Amino acid sequence: MFPGINPKQMQAVMKQMGMSQQEIPASKVIIEKEDGNKIVINNPSVTKIKMSGQESFQITGDISEESGFSDDDVKVVMEKTNCSEDEAKSALEETGDLAEAILKLSE
């Protein structure tokens, strides 16, 4: 963390300050955003930090973003293309975009 400081001394100082940290083994971290999209972190390094009664997480890794879709998106695709629900979902999963799904099914 700090160059030239013994890790054991650092842990002792953190403990005196009421801080603790814990490594959490994880293979994937997924953050679901309010807009339905997801941030996916593969091969993560996850550290849980507890300080002053608050817990926070530090996450690093290979980041990618996945587009999600809602039931309303499925309905719109079905209405615009006269396709089945399964076809609409499949097109949305394949393209990740509402407009592209409609164009794909309109061909």
- Residue 42 contacts by C-beta under 8 Å, 6 or more apart in sequence? 27, 28, 61, 62, 64
Q: Is the per-residue pLDDT at 59 higher than 90?
A: yes
* Residue 46, SS3 per DSSP: strand
Residue range 20-44, pLDDT digits in tens: 889 999 999 999 888 778 899 999 9
Model confidence pLDDT, tens digit, residues 83-105: 999 999 999 888 888 899 999 99
Per-position b or e across 78-90, b if 16+ CB within 10 A of its CB: bebbebeeebbbb
For 7-66, which CATH superfamily applies? Nascent polypeptide-associated complex domain (2.20.70.30)
pTM equals 0.58
How high is the pLDDT of residue 10?
80
CB 106 within 8 A of CB 96: no
In sequence order, the 6+-apart residues with CB closer than 8 A to the CB of 27 are: 42, 43, 44
